[in-house]
Amino acid sequence: MSYVKTGRLVQLLHNGGNTAQIPSDSISNEKLPAFLRPAVVAVMPAHPSTSAKIAVNPDETFKVTEGNVPANFYGSTVSYIAANSDLA
């Protein structure tokens, strides 16, 4: 089964290095479903040059695994895809 969710990323907090944390209410005020943790997340903002793939940890920490996500990445449209999805 594949799962794709699109929402608004309102805040992305960098905790040093390429690790970031997103508050649980940042994506359409919904927590990530449990089966998406850990998962690969494809971030697709308005500017493709800042697209990134991030891994979701059970504690809702996001680790950037590919690309770049700027610290002031507010209000961008994002999509996240379950790691076992054929879309991931």
- Would you say residue 34 lies in a domain? yes
Burial class of residue 76 in the structure, from the number of CB atoms within 10 Å of its CB (0-12 exposed, 13-18 middle, 19+ buried): middle
Q: What is the DSSP letter of 58?
A: T
Cα–Cα distance for residue pair 68/16, rounded to 1 Å: 13
Query: Residue 14 belongs to what domain range?
Result: 4-81
- Would you say residue 87 lies in a domain? no
* Residues 6 or more apart whose Cβ sits within 8 Å of residue 29: none
pLDDT in tens, 49-79: 555 556 655 555 556 666 555 544 444 444 4
Cα–Cα distance for residue pair 40/74, rounded to 1 Å: 20
- Would you say residue 86 lies in a domain? no
- Would you say residue 26 lies in a domain? yes
Q: Count of domains in the chain? A: 1
Whether the full predicted model's pTM is greater than 0.75, yes or no, is: no
